[in-house]
Amino acid sequence: MTITSEHYDELIKIRHYIHENPELSGQEFKTTQYLKDYLTDLGIQILETGLKTGLVAQIGSGQPVIALRADIDALPIVENTGLPFTSKNTGVMHACGHDLHQTSLLGAAKILKSREHEIDGTIKLIFQHAEESHIGADEVLATGVLADVSAIIGYHNMPTLPVGQIGIREKGIMAAVDQFYVTIKGVGSHAAYPQEGADSILATSAIIASLQQIVARNISPQHAVVVSVTHMTAGNTWNVLPDEAIFEGTIRTFDKDDRKLAKKRFYDIVENVSSAYGVHAEIDWILGPNVTYNDPELSEFLFNETRKWHDDVMVPEPSNAGEDFATYQEQIPGVFAFIGSNAIGSPGLHFSDMTVKDEMLPVAVDYYVNNAFALLERLAQK
């Protein structure tokens, strides 16, 4: 373990403070200032990016250049953990563990700065905003600040895995994300005279039921695809059939062809079932991040390197959750890992009662520090 007991205690206080003060995507102003102040006190250079929230810092100089990434935003969830450091911002919660991510990268920054004389090259530290809204990585890349980066690594805590267990797998580790929002426009009527209208609720119900055949009858059973309708709204009272109904949700895939087919079949079903019920459908399709695709060569290298200093490394099952770390990987060879943060059977990501253990922080710090040095050495030899 690279951190001292004093450093560990400091990181616990930092993590609890960040957890108490969560901010939504694009609104991470106080969080960003807190991070800037901490890094500046360490003498670490903050790069000019023009970003409103989030930041990129730098340790070392020259080639090669690598990047370490953590996300900083929280979710619009009312916290139900009962923790003594529960969120003070009602309705906003670090229910995805981004408080852990940024704290561990701060811990790594402190160690890397103290060992700057050992760094042959440059390490860029990305504290990324707006991961949950899938725009943060795009905005960081648009600044050009990562144009010279040859490799990038990150991780996501997994509260359903044992504390400190590290999972690294090559190729797809997290799913591609598509989001849909559909408005079904019918003709409202008195509930006692449905023949005088076009029932938006009946049509929407039929559409939602039919959408399940996308996976069941169109995609190979060997492929992981999920279609989930997560929200439906229609009507205002008991005796009126409404003009409109809306529903929204998500599709998760790992294969490009599956992604295209799922979207095509979605449009076919929504439009054709709507037509059969005499209503009109308007579909808003929101393209999310692609598959979080780990570079095979780098994944094998980091798996073997990680096993040199950690005794609990495994190949995890892919997650149907999505990550905009995938956006970096489209331009930079990268590896995204899982690190266990609680225990098997614990509430998972985005749950209001999700808790994570501070004990995983030393492992996450080591993941950044040890693999940063390993990557720099490997790239220098090429």
Q: How many CB atoms lie within 10 A of CB 218?
A: 15
CB 60 within 8 A of CB 80: no
CB 215 within 8 A of CB 226: yes
Torsion on CA atoms 57, 61, 64, 66, rounded to nearest 10:
-10
Is 156 part of any known ligand binding site?
yes
Q: How many CB atoms lie within 10 A of CB 136?
A: 28
Q: Could you give the CA distance from residue 135 to residue 286 in angstroms, rounded to a whole number?
A: 12
Is 98 part of any known ligand binding site?
yes
Is 350 part of any known ligand binding site?
yes
SS3 for 79-137, per residue?
CCCCCCCCCCCCCCECCCCHHHHHHHHHHHHHHHHHCHHHCCEEEEEEEECCCCCCCHH
Q: Which two tokens stand for residue 380?
A: 């220098």
Give φ, ψ of 3 to 5 degrees.
-100, 145
Q: Could you give the CA distance from residue 332 to residue 322 in angstroms, rounded to a whole number?
A: 18
Is 190 part of any known ligand binding site?
no
**269 three-class SS:** helix
Is 96 part of any known ligand binding site?
yes
Give 280-325 as a DSSP string.
EEEEEEEE----EEE-HHHHHHHHHHHHHH-S-EE-PPPBSS--TH
**35 three-class SS:** helix
* Size of the chain, expressed as the number of residues it contains: 382
Q: Which two tokens stand for residue 176?
A: 């591609």
Helix (H) or strand (E) holding 273: helix 256-276
CB proximity list for 68: less than 8 A, separation 6 or greater: 105, 108, 123, 124, 125, 126, 152, 153, 154, 368, 372
- Packing angle of the helix pair 5-20, 361-380 (nearest 10 deg): 110
As annotated, the binding site includes: 96, 98, 132, 156, 350
As annotated, the binding site for Mn(2+) includes: 96, 98, 132, 156, 350
